[in-house]
Structure 1
Amino acid sequence: MTTDNYSVQGGTAVITLNNPPVNAMGHAVRQELAAQLEAAWADAQVQAIVITGAGKLFCGGADVKAFNTPASRAEPSSRTIVKQIEASTKPVIAAIHGNALGLGLEFAMGCHYRIAQRDAKLGLPEVKLGLLPGGGGTQRLPRLAGVEAALRMIVEGNPVGADEALAIGLVDEVAAGELLPAALDFAARVSGRSEHPVASRRQAAAPAEAGWFETQREKLAKAKRGLPAPLECLACIEAAVSMPFDEGMQFERQRFDVLVNGTESKALRHLFLAERAAAKIPDLPADTPVAPVRSVAVIGAGTMGGGIAMSFANAGIPVTLVEARQEALDRGLATIRKNYDGTVAKGKLAREEADARIARIVPTLDFGQVAGADLVIEAVFEDMDVKKELFRKLDALSKADAILATNTSRLDVNEIAATTTRPGSVIGLHFFSPANVMRLVEVVRGQATAPGVIASSMAMARQIGKLPVLVGVCDGFVGNRMVAQYAREAEFLLEEGALPQQVDGALQKFGLAMGRFAMSDLAGLDISWSSRKRQAATRPAHLRYSKVADRLCELGRFGQKTGAGFYRYEAGSRTPVPDTVVSQIIEECAREAGIQRRAITDEEIVERCIYALVNEGAKVLQEGIAQRASDIDLIYVNGYGFPAWRGGPMFYADTVGLATVYQRICQFHAQHGAFWTPAPLLKKLAEEGSSFKELGNAPRNA
């Protein structure tokens, strides 16, 4: 038997896993692998078997799309193949390069030996998809590396390098040079042995510390609130110590089945696939040219500008940081240095690397220095006149093929682009604060934005480690447009009877990282206040409007920055403390609006805040501002602290059932008026018994 994926070299059969792009171990791959192994075992000339991966990695794991389908369990399963390998008298060696992740590592652990290239990474990241390693990982890893190392790798889901894998016993050798020659040499050395090590036949040693598993269980319950997978991982690792191997494997399978059919894992897998879908733009030709971004100019050295500059410097791209005043430039650079110093102090970055990144940021007061930049990003004050004047200036100074980007969080990109002679070169790049930390970037295409500018901007964002999601132009784009509805309901609930701490508490119990009002205090109440004052002249007089936040701002309560907002803050503390002054303002605003305050349940708080997001999200979809519902979910999970294990607001609505959500929104419409007019798309899907997921990229006109 000789194929592209099977050959015999000097008495060793070389089998190559070949399923681009990550050699996922789907059913077809398993079928081919099983046939190749049978051929090697039947060939008297073959004394050993080496299994490696095609391309850049060994195996990226299972086929995530096949989960919850018959194909995931179809024979030959990986468990069946590993049992056959364990019984083999011919040694089977996994030769690992690039990554061996998930089922890829579980399979490798089922081989007799493992040899890894020095730059290889080995890991079991299933917990990040709300799962546990279901191919024997929780049973073999403790036997090979010990329970402490197994717990760290499985519960954190982060890979280890080849040297660490060797130190903990996960691999047998690290290749000094090229992998395949080293693996063939290793195979020749072990082929004459009378027996070969089998991980499942080892005894997993119990931890030395009494009560270790109970201690870890308490820690995980506190640290991983709302997530069942970490505790299930721990239970399976404990089974590796307390049960015979076959019973442990059975227990692992039972717990995997519970998780794979659970909402939390389905939500996390939804987001995993959503990230891949977000990179696909249906109306952008696949051959659209992508211009490389080798140099960047950032206008504005404030919080956003500094964070954006750091993002590019972190990726090795030189940045020119432009400011109008020396004191503002000095202040911005001081903040950048402080951020890097903090990372160094935590041991997360070497001093030399931090200094190299700082050196990539070149400060200047000379706007003419933007002339050589491939990409220019403005991050100045959120005022349309200021931005339009700046873009007229950038239009004159920047080179002809430069991308001109605005970091506006809500202003009209089309209006900004119209001030230039090249609107096709203008795009929105809405980074989220702090920009050097947050992954999300809303890439905002205007009516005139050229396809190449869109493609280049999406590629650039990925190049610097961000998650780009393409959106259209409207007030607030996707994220801030939707959050305005969420904020409105939260503030109305205050007037109707709740207090900030109750609203925030209910939303945090639901899973949000922060409640609405604590988040407002962190961001600064003055920013949204400025926006409301600009919009006051066009606000319809007949629509309800809460004045609570305005009253707080009129008192100079802008949040944490002033020591008081919806809460008060002790000196040097970020802990929100309920304040009677706020309660009095809420009661006054309710009286002035003629609202009779009442008892509000946590259930109503969650429904009104979250369903307000869903209803607006359906409108955003129907208008084409977002390409797909999963894009909205990515924005909310990665930009607004929506719990990943709920999958985002649109996925959450699907899990509740759109008919149920629609019915509740109709009730809110009857009770609270026009703000709750049901989105036509939501009505259509609910009546059809459909879902946002099923909608996909289909036409959305109701």
Structure 2
Amino acid sequence: MEALQLSVREGVLVMEISNPPVNALSQPVRAALMAALARLGADESLRGGVIAGARGTFIAGADIKEFGKPPEAPFLPDVFAAIEACPKPVVAALHGAALGGGLELALACDVRIAEAGTVLGLPEVTLGVIPGAGGTQRLPRLVGVSAALRLIGTAERIGAGAAHRLGVVDEVVEVDVVGAAVAHLPAKRRVSALPVPPEAPEAVAKAEVAALKAGKGRPAVVAAIAAVKDAAALPFAEGLARERAPFLALRASPEAAALRHMFFAEREAMRLPAALRATPRAIETVAVIGAGTMGSGIAQAALEEGFAVILYDQNADLLTKAGERLCAALAERAAAGKITPALATKLRLSLATGWAEIAPADLVIEAVFEDLAVKQEVFRQLDAHAKPGAVLATNTSYLDIDTIAAATSRPQDVLGLHFFSPANVMKLLEVVPGSASAPDLAAAGMEFGKRLKKLPVLCGNAFGFIGNRIYNAYRTQCEFMLEDGAWPEEVDAALEAFGFAMGPFAVADLSGLDIAWRMRAAQAARRDPRTRYVPVLDELCAQGRFGRKSGAGYYTYAAGKRSAGSDATVRGIIAAASAARGVSRHPLAPEDIQRRALAAMVNEAALLLADGVAQRASDIDVVLVQGYGFPRHVGGPVYWARMQDRAALERGIDIIAAAAGFGFRRGSLDLLLTESAP
């Protein structure tokens, strides 16, 4: 099929891009557009042109697969210059998505007409680059510098209505956007010739600060801000040249390569292996068991995507309050334009205190206390009251899916769906079939995750699945470093300097130390006494230091603010643990802390692949970036490992093996480093 389908309607050349799945602006599309624009300019029977997209979308961006390859003409700036140079008007008929290069193309057109429901944005900074074909120069001429800084610097996506109010879109129609474009062909209007609207310096400065904060000061955000500000200070041609240079430099940077890896890894993660591909069970009504923080978050995520939700809890007071919070949260989301008002005003939420009330649910998600006996009792009730064929899902973080499923007479219907807190915000969802799960269950879990607009990742049924198993190895190594000579704030600072959102001890305080304490107590009888074990967390909890919620953990929290470092109590507990083990404490440099923590992650990733818990190496990167704060611009622990010297990696694993001692299991780097990328 041709990359560009041409037709003539009422003297207008309709150029419909046909490059599935998202109509990316690959080289054949660019070449076809150049030829079509030449025809439009030369054919006296044509009065104008319309550029549209086939199969439900306009253009979702440039072809990212081309970024790591030698460039091929024509380039996007050439195509957009040809649109502006065409003597006849060209209209962009937008529908579905107009993102990245797709929106840049639309900005080069004389007029933009969007179908209601279209999503627009310039998300290039999330790939480590900036708009490189005029986006930083044309957008400010339509919306002003501060609005352009917000849209480009934060990679915000907006709907057609918001785009119309800003001035990005000239008209919004309900249906037949191509017909509307043909019927309302405008006069020629080059956006590049428009002046940038004047603004108060304070508004621009505020937008710049917000963009830097949202983008964590990454190089692409800094370059995008400079390019947008150039639009107000320089003639268009000069600004365009100034935009292109940093775009090309950033595109070749290691950071952009890592971000491209994550882009493709996330899409690959949602693909099931051939053996598990099946028609998923239909899910329209979801029951959530437990009205606590996790259960309420899952319920909100489902309500926001239009599911009918039954929220169950035996505690009527807790249930009522959870229902009130959900109503308020959805009303707030609707007011902010994040969901449609109908989802908030016609809330499909039922509150239930009786097990029989969950019977209509197609999917039941247990979100109760992380205790095997408690979860098994819940599943006995689900077995008795859920309708035949309903998917019975557990939100367990660590426990064995098969052991939970054994509490029912229908283990074929039991699945792990591990959400991350807050469940209405975090995108990651680990989908964990048990050994008895029916063939269509994994497909049902993956499809449900996609409908929630999450990133579902298939995991094998093993302790901690992918994320918690790696995080457990990482946290354990960090605890070893406490005994060896580091203080909590030194470990946290070193790992935050590497790029983690938070260090492990700050994370532990935030989530609550008592959760890990109870888990360790439950495992104590099975722990081999020869295995190295750090008792610091246990001692903190024994003194009532459970983290932020109790006002003290590894750090103290006066008036909600974290202390700069660990206090005398914490240091005394750590020093006593070192002495009890006979360790002579010595300072650890930040690079040593980073090397040991990352080696622990890499070694466990190799074991996960060998054990079949992760179906592909890139899935590990997706889980750690999306769920555990691993820096996205580094590409995840596996990608990071592949960028390192092999001998240095092996030395790092030697160090953590010596630190762990008895029971350490070494992973083979061969599988981790040689597995082909998706």
| TM-score when normalising by structure 1 | 0.90
Identify if the C-alpha distance between structure 1 residues 386 and 166 changes in structure 2 by more than 3 Å, giving closer, same or farther: closer
Partner residue, 2:466 = 478
Aligned to 2:248: 257
Number of residue pairs aligned between Structure 1 and Structure 2: 677
Pair 306,626 (structure 1): closer, same or farther in 2 beyond 3 Å: same
Matched with 1:289 is 279
The one-letter amino acid paired with 2:189 is P
Aligned twin of 1:552: 540
Cα contact 1:518–1:576 (8 A) shared by 2: no
Q: Which residue identity does 1:124 align to in structure 2? A: L
Q: Which of 545, 549, 554 is the matching residue for 1:561?
A: 549
Q: Which whole-Å deviations, capped at 9, do the CAs of 1:381-405 have from their partners, x for residues lacking one?
A: 2222222232223222221111111
Matched, 1:427 2:415: yes
**Structure 2 partner of 1:643:** 631
Q: Tell me which moved more, 371-380 or 89-98.
A: 89-98
The structure-2 alpha-carbon separation of the partners of 1:331 and 1:556, relative to structure 1 and needing over 3 Å to count, comes to farther
Identity, % of aligned positions: 44
Over 3 Å counting, the alpha-carbon distance change for 1:136 and 1:415 in structure 2 is same
Q: Which residue of 2 aligns with 1:151?
A: 149
SS at match of 1:122: strand
Q: Does 1:199 align with 2:187?
A: no
Q: CA offset at residue 377 of structure 1?
A: 1.3
> Residue 411 of structure 1 contacts residue 475 of structure 1 at CA under 8 Å; is this kept in 2?
yes
Does structure 1 residue 57 correspond to structure 2 residue 57?
A: yes
**Change in CA separation of 1:499 and 1:401 when aligned onto 2, cut-off 3 Å:** same
1:130 to 110, 128, 138: 128
CA distance in structure 1 between the partners assigned to 2:579 and 2:554 by the alignment: 19
Amino acid aligned to 1:59: I
1:339 shift after superposition: 5.1
Distance in 2, matches of 1:413 and 1:432, equals: 17
Structure 2: gaps (5+ residues): none
Q: How does 1:481-492 map to 2 (within 5 A)?
A: 481-492=469-480
Amino acid at match of 1:113: V
Cα deviations by residue, 1:417-444 (Å, 9 ceiling, x for unpaired): 2232221111101111121222211111
Equivalent residue, structure 1, for 2:299: 309
User: Residue 101 of structure 2 is aligned with which of 93, 100, 103?
Assistant: 103
Residues 199 and 326 from structure 1, CA distance in 2 versus in 1: closer, same or farther, beyond 3 angstroms?
closer
Q: Within 5 Å, give how 1:601-680 maps onto structure 2.
A: 601-670=589-658, 672-674=660-662, 677-680=665-668
Q: Which amino acid aligns with 1:375?
A: L
CA distance in 2, matches of 1:331, 1:667: 51
Offset at 1:202?
3.8
CA contact (8 A) 1:560 1:569 kept: yes
How far apart, CA to CA, are the structure 2 residues paired with 1:68 and 1:462?
Answer: 29
Superposed counterparts of 1:297-376, under 5 Å: 297-330=287-320, 332-333=322-323, 336=326, 354=344, 356-357=346-347, 360-376=348-364
SS at 1:100's partner residue? strand
- Structure 1 residue 658, shift from structure 2 partner: 4.1
Distance in 2 between the 1:675 and 1:605 partners? Answer: 22
| Preserved contact between residue 217 and residue 231 of structure 1 (Cα < 8 Å) | no
Per-residue CA shift, 1:520-569, capped at 9, x if unaligned?
Answer: 11111111111111211221211211111111111121112222111122
Aligned to 2:140: 142
1:352 Cα shift?
A: 7.7
TM-superposed CA distance for 1:112, in Å, is 2.7
Distance 1:74 1:352, change over 3 A: closer
> Secondary structure of 1:411's partner?
coil
2:223 is the counterpart of 1:232: yes
Q: How does 1:207-226 map to 2 (within 5 A)?
A: 207-209=199-201, 220-221=211-212, 224-226=215-217
Equivalent-residue separation in structure 1 for 2:596 and 2:149 (angstroms): 40
Per the TM alignment, residue 255 of structure 1 is displaced from its structure 2 partner at its CA by: 0.3
Tell me how far 1:580 sits from its aligned partner. Answer: 1.2
Structure 2 residue matching 1:451: 3-state secondary structure: coil
2:37 pairs with 1:29: no
- Is the aligned partner of 1:243 residue 2:234? yes
Unaligned stretches of 5+ residues in structure 1: 191-195, 697-702
- Alpha-carbon distance in structure 2 between the residues aligned to 1:3 and 1:636: 37
- Partner-residue secondary structure (3-state), 1:430: strand
Note the alpha carbon deviations across 1:152-172, whole angstroms, 9 max, x for none: 211121233444434444334
Classify the secondary structure of the residue corresponding to 2:184: helix
Query: Given the superposition, is the C-alpha separation of residues 447 and 32 from structure 1 closer, same or farther in structure 2, using an over 3 Å criterion?
Result: same
From 396, 399, 420, the counterpart of 1:411: 399
CA contact (8 A) 1:391 1:419 kept: yes
**Residues 1:527 and 2:519 aligned together:** no
Q: Deviations over 1:263-285 (max 9, x none)?
A: 22222222221121011112335
Aligned-partner Cα distance in 1 for 2:334–2:83: 46
Q: What do you get for the CA RMSD once the two structures are aligned?
A: 2.7
1:105-124 alpha-carbon deviations (Å, 9 max, x no partner): 11122223323334433321
TM-score when scaled to structure 2? 0.93
8 Å CA contact 1:666–1:677 kept in 2: the answer is: no
Instruction: Tell me, yes or no, if the aligned pair for 2:4 and 2:18 is still in contact at 8 Å.
Output: no
Query: Aligned residue for 1:699?
Result: none
Tell me the equivalent position of 2:88. Answer: 90
Q: One-letter code of the match for 2:137?
A: Q
Shift of 1:58: 1.5
Distance 1:607 1:206 in 2: 50
